[in-house]
């Protein structure tokens, strides 16, 4: 970046850093965050690249919001309490209009998900956004992919397939009515990481993952890590009214099963445990391996970059 890198940082990125865990934010060589006694640090990083993760004509504020939401979703999936985030931003040019809009989305997400921006890096190059999230886990607890047991129920939060349908709307592959189009596009650009749900599940769920690559692919990660088989009933998948209205139900179900980008949680609960509000039972855990979804074999794979 040119000589005004520091003024850009000061103008757009230094005011989003206040939070209960932040001892020292943007401006020094490192940020300092405080943990409570016995807590463990949970951390994850995600990169989004123009034309790979979002269309090149997306609004900068949507790009920022979605990048933070996707990263925050990993904290939700572990049951971690958000502490803060860092941002590595590579920009083709110091476009102040773009930066202004981007920082608006960043501020909205920082506030919505309790993730103060405590540091980062700013460089010149093809547009790339990397968000690292930092969270806290209480002593002895974490929501991993690895604990599902035969006999558990399989659940998801929210509704599935909306983000994939939203991308289809953005790309002109699907043209629903105006209200449905608007709703689906928002579900793509403004996903809701389930942070409060993750914190609740910390004490009850045996395994959890967030849905970034598509239900079938992500459920496969729980099956592999837990050494179990997951049975999914496609007819039990929760669909929004926008997707229920789709004329081709097979397409709606395909988005829900393999679409990706929903950032809902998929988790397993022992049979005696009631699911939290807003969650749906979609199947069960049995002995065996892999994911079975009658009527949808062979299974469509999730997104794979290589
Ligand atoms: P250093 O050279 O010590 O690594 P930098 O010059 O990269 O520091 O950054 C100066 C300060 O601004 C640091 O505190 C860094 O964390 C912060 N910073 C740089 N870029 C960003 C950004 N995009 N978002 C938030 N903070 C940033
Ligand atoms: Mg330094």
Shortest-distance ligand to the CA of residue 30: 1
In the chain, DSSP assigns E strands to 22-24, 32-33, 40-49, 81-91, 117-124, 128-137, 153-157, 207-210, 229-232, 265-269, 279-286, 290-292
95 has a pLDDT exceeding 80:
yes
Contacts of residue 82, defined as CB under 8 A and 6 or more positions apart, other chains included, come to: 72, 75, 113, 114, 115, 133, 134, 135, 195
In 138-245, DSSP assigns E strands to 153-157, 207-210, 229-232
**pLDDT of res. 125:** 95
Shortest-distance ligand to the CA of residue 31: 1
97-116 per-position pLDDT tens digit: 999 999 999 999 999 999 99
Rounded Cα gap, residues 247 and 204, in angstroms: 38
Q: Is 3 in the pocket of ligand 1 (CB under 6 A)?
A: no
242-290 per-position pLDDT tens digit: 999 999 999 999 999 999 999 999 999 999 999 999 999 999 999 999 9
Nearest CA to 144 out of 222, 227, 261, 231 is that of: 222
**pLDDT of res. 3:** 46
Shortest-distance ligand to the CA of residue 102: 1
If you average pLDDT over every residue of the chain, what do you get?
Answer: 94
* 281 CB burial (10 A radius; 0-12, 13-18, 19+): middle
160-171 per-position pLDDT tens digit: 999 999 999 999
Strands 128-137 and 207-210: unpaired
Contacts of residue 274, defined as CB under 8 A and 6 or more positions apart, other chains included, come to: none
Rounded Cα gap, residues 117 and 15, in angstroms: 8
Percentage of the chain lying above the pLDDT 70 cut: 96
Rounded Cα gap, residues 262 and 259, in angstroms: 8
Rounded to an integer, the average pLDDT of 201-220 is 97
Rounded to an integer, the average pLDDT of 146-155 is 98
Q: Name the one residue in this structure whose structure tokens are 């009527």.
A: 295
* 37 CB burial (10 A radius; 0-12, 13-18, 19+): exposed
Percentage of the chain lying above the pLDDT 90 cut: 89
Contacts of residue 305, defined as CB under 8 A and 6 or more positions apart, other chains included, come to: 52
249-262 per-position pLDDT tens digit: 999 999 999 999 99
Supply the residue whose CA is at minimum distance from atom 24 of ligand 1. Answer: 120
Say how many Å lie between the CA of residue 216 and the centre of ligand 2: 43
Q: Which residues pair with 283 in a beta bridge?
A: 154, 232
Task: Place 296 in a pLDDT band, splitting at 50, 70 and 90.
Answer: confident
Q: Is 24 in the pocket of ligand 1 (CB under 6 A)?
A: no
Rounded Cα gap, residues 64 and 120, in angstroms: 14
Instruction: Please tell me whether the peptide bond between 298 and the residue prior to it is cis, using omega within 30 degrees of 0.
Output: yes
User: CA of 75: how far to CAs of 26, 69, 91, 200, 209, in Å?
Assistant: 22, 10, 26, 13, 10
145 has a pLDDT exceeding 70:
yes
Say how many Å lie between the CA of residue 29 and the centre of ligand 2: 4
Rounded to an integer, the average pLDDT of 67-85 is 98
204 has a pLDDT exceeding 80:
yes
Rounded to an integer, the average pLDDT of 190-198 is 98
Which protein residues have their CB within 5 A of the ion that is ligand 2? 29
Q: Which one is predicted more confidently, 53 or 24? A: 24
Task: Place 303 in a pLDDT band, splitting at 50, 70 and 90.
Answer: low
Q: Name the one residue in this structure whose structure tokens are 């920022």.
A: 64
Rounded to an integer, the average pLDDT of 206-217 is 97
304 has a pLDDT exceeding 80:
no
Q: Is 89 in the pocket of ligand 1 (CB under 6 A)?
A: yes
């Amino acid at each position: 970046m040119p000589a005004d890198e520091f003024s850009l940082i000061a103008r757009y990125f230094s005011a989003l850093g206040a939070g209960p865990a932040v001892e020292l934010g943007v401006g020094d060589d490192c940020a300092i965050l405080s943990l409570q006694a016995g807590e463990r640090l949970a951390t994850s990083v995600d990169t989004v690249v123009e034309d790979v993760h979002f269309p090149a004509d997306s609004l900068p504020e949507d790009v920022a919001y979605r990048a933070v939401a996707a990263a925050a979703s990993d904290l939700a999936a572990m049951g971690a309490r958000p502490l803060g985030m860092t941002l590595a931003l590579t920009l083709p040019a110091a476009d102040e209009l773009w930066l202004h809009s981007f920082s608006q989305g960043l501020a909205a997400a920082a506030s919505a998900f309790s993730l103060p921006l405590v540091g980062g890096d700013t460089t010149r190059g093809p547009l790339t956004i990397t968000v690292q999230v930092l969270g806290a886990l209480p002593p002895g607890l974490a929501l991993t992919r690895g604990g599902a047991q035969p006999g558990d129920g399989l659940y998801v939060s929210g509704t599935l397939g909306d983000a994939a349908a939203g991308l289809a709307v953005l790309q002109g592959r699907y043209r629903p009515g105006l209200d449905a189009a608007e709703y689906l596009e928002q579900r793509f650009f403004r996903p809701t990481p389930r942070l409060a749900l993750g914190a609740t599940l910390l004490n009850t769920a045996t395994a959890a993952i967030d849905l970034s690559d598509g239900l079938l692919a992500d459920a496969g990660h729980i099956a592999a890590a837990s050494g179990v088989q997951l049975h999914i009933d496609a007819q039990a998948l929760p669909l929004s009214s926008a997707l229920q209205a789709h004329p081709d139900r097979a397409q709606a179900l395909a988005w829900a099963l393999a679409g990706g980008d929903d950032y809902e949680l998929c988790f397993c609960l022992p049979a005696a445990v009631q699911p939290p509000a807003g969650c749906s039972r979609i199947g069960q855990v049995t002995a065996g391996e892999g994911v079975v979804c009658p009527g949808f074999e062979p299974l469509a794979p999730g997104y794979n970059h290589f």
